[in-house]
Amino acid sequence: MNKRYQKLKNFVKTSLLGGLGVIFPAALLLVVFSWVFQWVGGIIEPLTRIIVAKSNMQEILANILVIGAIIAACFFIGIFVKTRLGRYIHILVEKLLGRWIPGYKFSTNTFQQFFGERSTTYSAVALVKPFGNETLMTGFITDEHPDGSCSIFVPTGPNPTSGNIFHLPSSCVYRVDIPVEEAMKSVIACGAGSEALMQSRHELNEIKPKGAK
C-alpha cells in the first residue's frame, strides 16, 4: 500500500512539475511579449489614433499596421544606406548626433557590435575581481598597459551602454575565450547564458605586460 501510494505521489509530483516546466516559460514569454507590445503601442499611439480616426480600423490592427510599416521603413533605410549617397548621409547624421547627444557613439557602437555589424573595440572578454575578493564580474578589456595592468569596462545589465571603468592589475583579470558578442548577450540577458563564460575561464591565463614572454 505504501509503495503504491509512493508511486502515485511521485507520478503526480513529476507530472505536475513537468507541466509547470512547460507552462511557466510559455506564460512568462507571453507576459514579456504583452509588455513589449504595450510599450511599443504607447510609443506609436499618435500614429494609430490617426489611422483609427480616418479608417475606423480596430486599434490592435492599427498597431500591427504601424509596426509593420516601421519594420518596412527600417528595411528600406538599410538598403538606402548601402548606396553611396546613403552612406554619405548616414555618416553626416552620425557626426551631428554624436556632437549633440552624449553617449550616442558608444550606444551605436555597442548595438552594432552586438549584431556583428562592426568590429569590436574591445580586445577581449574577461572575468575581473575589482574588489579584491572572490566576486567575479563580466568585463571587456579596452586597453592594456606596459606595467601589465588593464583598463576594463564592466557594463551593467541589461543595458550594456552604461557601466564602470576599472584599472586593474593582471592578478585581478582573467581572460575568457568566448566572442565579445556572446558575452554581450549574457549582459543583456542579466547573466542568463553565462555557462560558456564560466567554463571558458582560465585562472592561470592572466594578462601579461606588453612585450612579456
* 3-state SS string for 115-171: CCCCCCCCCEEEEECCCCCCCCEEEEEEEECCCCCEEEEEECCCCCCCEEEEEECHH
CA dist., res. 119 & res. 92, Å (int): 21
In the prediction, which pLDDT does 117 show? 55
Phi, psi of 130 (to 5 degrees): -70, -20
> Which amino acid belongs to residue 132?
G
In the prediction, which pLDDT does 175 show? 86
pLDDT digits (tens, 9 = 90+) for 47-100: 888 888 888 788 888 888 888 888 898 889 889 888 988 888 888 887 887 777
All structural domains of the chain with their residue ranges: 124-206
In the prediction, which pLDDT does 156 show? 86
In the prediction, which pLDDT does 148 show? 85
Residues with pLDDT less than 50, the chain: 119, 203-213
Sheet hosting strand 173-176, strand order edge to edge: 163-168, 150-155, 137-144, 124-128, 173-176, 201-206
Task: Tell if the pTM clears 0.85, that is, is over it.
Answer: no
Q: How many helices (H) and strands (E) does the chain have?
A: 7, 6
